[in-house]
């Protein structure tokens, strides 16, 4: 079992006890960061006693000096003495830096020794020889925490995890790109990984709050057989996909985890993950187009649109598809059926010529009688119209168009500017299909006014949930728990407000 250890960066014994009371059961260890206490030399024993009284968890005592990324700035002998005292008081482990381990000498009692090596700038070469040096320096457990700057750095950390006796190893890639090394520690069966008590209390870059480890990634369910899924993007921090898909995997009892991967180089990403149980990916900006050339097979919609958003990995083959385009088409088709119009007989107006506009224009090029594309920057509308056989307009010409189907793909009306509307309201008429790509808010001003004008609505929220549900189905061959996924999106959106 891999311990999930919460770094306790509270400054008083009382504060530490309060933090411990809030921890989820999946946090099986805590680390007293003596260097974060108000008066480390005076109160470390008192703080450790408070922790030992408050919990049965495995307890580590660490007093990290400033040179190793900690806060302790005093005398080295006194610093090491706090670790000896921690052992005497009953800490299960003390953590000492490699260059101080010899000076610390023998430690009393049965307390184990974690010997650690940090590099906040880079992932050094030859991680395995660092591991051997740590063992030679007396480590019961060797801890290597290094900055993961690229996917190859992350790969080097996984290589180390695979090469070592992992039960005496803690290996962490610090920073956003290393988050997967923290979450996937139980897949490699390493001794421990670290989480913060709260969002604003990370003791190291990239440390994930323990609530997130527990509720988002279901850390205690991850094991060597867990399949890996994720979203490759850059940036990736605000993606809702991990929340949606992890909830769906848990609801359907699948042994799978979904991670955010901040990726610069997709080819290197595949090299690192493909032989490590990677089963599926969501793909978003900026990789939707470049991913196409890396697939073994690509579905027709992706080829039509020139971009994909889903990769399914089966028997070592990469299968690319575009659930974005498929779900948009489905949402539109449903609304058209309700309005009793045939898309193929309709004049479709797309407002916006960015990513969403492009997807819809390409999908609808041969599914409409007349395709109009209006955009703030007319040249972009012209380019897209040229590619799709449509006609291009500026936004000032909207009043002259009389579409059967109106699709907004601009962010006008999106949170927080929810009072804005992307088209003049008087172009809305009864029976028209109006599709707003925006999903935050769930009901936009355009949708409200269109409903009042007697239009039939297709919503960006349904589009968003449907493309995620279709990804789940693609990867798992199971029906997606759509209602649950919709609720997760609603919760995430209300959290953003």
Which residues share a beta bridge with 72?
65
Orientation of helix 151-163 relative to helix 266-273, angle to 10°: 10
Q: Is 239 helix (H, G, I), strand (E, B) or coil?
A: coil
What would the two tokens of residue 256 be?
């799978």
Q: Which residues of 255-290 are buried (b: 16+ CB within 10 A; e: fewer)?
A: ebbbbbbbbeebeebbebbeeebbbbbbbbeebbee
Q: Which is nearer to ligand NAP, 131 or 463 (CB)?
A: 463
Cβ of residue 287: shortest distance to ligand NAP, in angstroms? 14
CA neighbours closer than 13 Å in the CB half-sphere of residue 360: 33
Question: Least distance (Å) from ligand NAP to the CB of residue 493?
Answer: 11
What DSSP assignment string belongs to 110-138? Answer: T-EEEEEEEESS---S-HHHHHHHHHHTT
288 is catalytic: yes
Q: Which is nearer to ligand NAP, 266 or 328 (CB)?
A: 328
* Closer Cβ to ligand NAP, 10 or 352, answer by number: 352
Q: Per DSSP, which regions of 334-489 are E strands?
A: 347-351, 370-375, 391-394, 405-408, 433-436, 456-459
Specify the residue, 152 or 383, whose C-beta has the smaller distance to ligand NAP. 383
Nearer to ligand NAP, 247 or 423 (CB): 423
Dmax over Cα atoms in the chain, in whole Å?
85
- Does residue 462 carry a catalytic annotation? no
* Spatial separation of the C-alpha atoms in residues 487 and 399, rounded to whole Å: 37
Name the β-bridge partners of 229: 258, 280
List the catalytic residue out of 324, 404, 436, 462. 324
Which residue of the set 36, 143, 211, 362 is catalytic?
Answer: 143
Please report how close the Cβ of residue 428 comes to ligand NAP at its closest, in angstroms: 17
CA 341 to chain centre: 40
Residue 52 near residue 89 (C-beta atoms within 8 A)? yes
- In the complex, the residues that contact ligand NAP under the rule CB under 6 A are 352-357, 375-377, 380, 409-412, 414, 437-439, 460, 463-464, 467
3 catalytic per annotation? no
Contact 433, 339 (CB under 8 A): yes
User: Catalytic pick from 3, 92, 95, 118?
Assistant: 118
Closest to 144 in 3D by CA, of 123, 122, 118, 124:
118
Q: Which member of 177, 187, 288, 362 is catalytic? A: 288
Pairing of strands 310-314, 317-321: antiparallel
Please say if 118 is a catalytic residue. yes
Q: How far is the CB of 333 from ligand NAP (least distance, A)?
A: 16
Nearer to ligand NAP (CB atom), residue 346 or residue 409: 409
Shortest Å distance, C-beta 312 to ligand NAP:
19
**Closest to ligand NAP by CB, 158 or 464:** 464
User: 3-class SS at 229?
Assistant: strand
Phi then psi for residue 135, to 5 deg, are -65, -40
Give min distance, CB of 237 to ligand NAP, in A. Answer: 16
CA atoms of 447 and 469, how far apart (whole Å): 23
The least CB distance from residue 413 to ligand NAP, in Å, is 8
Residues forming the active site: 118, 143, 288, 324
């Amino acid at each position: 079992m891999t311990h999930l250890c919460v770094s306790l960066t509270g400054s008083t014994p009382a504060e530490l006890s309060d933090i411990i009371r809030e921890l989820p059961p999946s946090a099986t260890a805590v680390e007293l960061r003596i260097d974060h206490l108000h008066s480390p030399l005076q109160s470390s024993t008192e703080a450790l006693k408070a922790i030992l009284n408050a919990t049965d968890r495995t307890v580590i005592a660490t007093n990290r000096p400033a040179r190793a990324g900690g806060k302790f700035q005093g005398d080295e002998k006194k610093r090491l003495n706090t670790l000896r005292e921690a052992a005497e008081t009953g800490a299960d482990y003390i953590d000492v830096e490699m260059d101080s381990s010899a000076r610390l000498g023998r430690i009393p009692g049965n307390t184990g020794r974690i010997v650690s090596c940090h590099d906040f700038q880079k992932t050094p070469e030859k991680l395995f020889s660092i591991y051997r040096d740590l063992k030679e320096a007396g480590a019961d457990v060797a801890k290597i925490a290094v900055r993961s700057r690229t996917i190859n750095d992350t790969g080097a950390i996984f290589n180390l995890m695979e090469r070592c006796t992992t039960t005496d190893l803690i290996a962490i890639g610090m920073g956003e790109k290393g988050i997967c090394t923290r979450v996937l520690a139980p897949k490699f069966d390493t001794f421990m990984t670290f989480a913060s008590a709260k969002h604003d209390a990370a003791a190291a870059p990239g440390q994930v709050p323990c609530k997130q480890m527990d509720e988002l990634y279901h850390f205690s369910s991850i094991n060597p057989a867990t399949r890996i899924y994720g979203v490759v993007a850059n940036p990736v921090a605000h993606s809702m996909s991990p929340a949606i898909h992890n909830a769906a995997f848990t609801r359907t009892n699948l042994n799978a985890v979904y991670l955010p991967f901040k990726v610069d180089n997709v080819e290197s990403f595949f090299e690192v993950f493909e032989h490590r149980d990677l089963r599926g990916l969501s793909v978003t900006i900026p990789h939707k187009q470049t991913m196409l050339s890396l697939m073994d097979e690509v579905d027709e919609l992706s080829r039509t649109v020139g971009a994909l958003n889903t990769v399914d990995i089966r028997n070592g083959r990469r299968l690319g598809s575009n659930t974005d385009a498929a779900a948009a088409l489905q949402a539109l088709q449903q609304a058209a059926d309700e309005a009793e119009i045939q898309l193929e007989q309709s004049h479709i107006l797309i407002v916006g010529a960015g990513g969403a506009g492009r997807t819809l224009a390409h999908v609808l090029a041969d599914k409409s009688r007349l395709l109009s594309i209006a955009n703030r920057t007319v040249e972009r509308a012209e380019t897209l119209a040229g590619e799709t056989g449509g006609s291009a307009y500026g936004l000032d010409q909207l009043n002259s168009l009389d579409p059967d189907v109106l699709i907004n793909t601009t962010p006008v009306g999106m949170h927080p500017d929810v009072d804005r509307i992307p088209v003049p309201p008087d172009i809305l008429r009864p029976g028209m299909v109006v599709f707003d790509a925006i999903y935050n808010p769930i009901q936009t001003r355009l949708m409200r006014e269109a409903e009042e004008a007697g239009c039939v609505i297709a919503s960006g929220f349904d589009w968003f949930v449907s493309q995620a549900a279709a990804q789940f189905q693609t990867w798992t061959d199971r029906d997606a728990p759509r209602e649950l996924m919709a609720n997760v999106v609603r919760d995430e959106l209300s959290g953003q407000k």
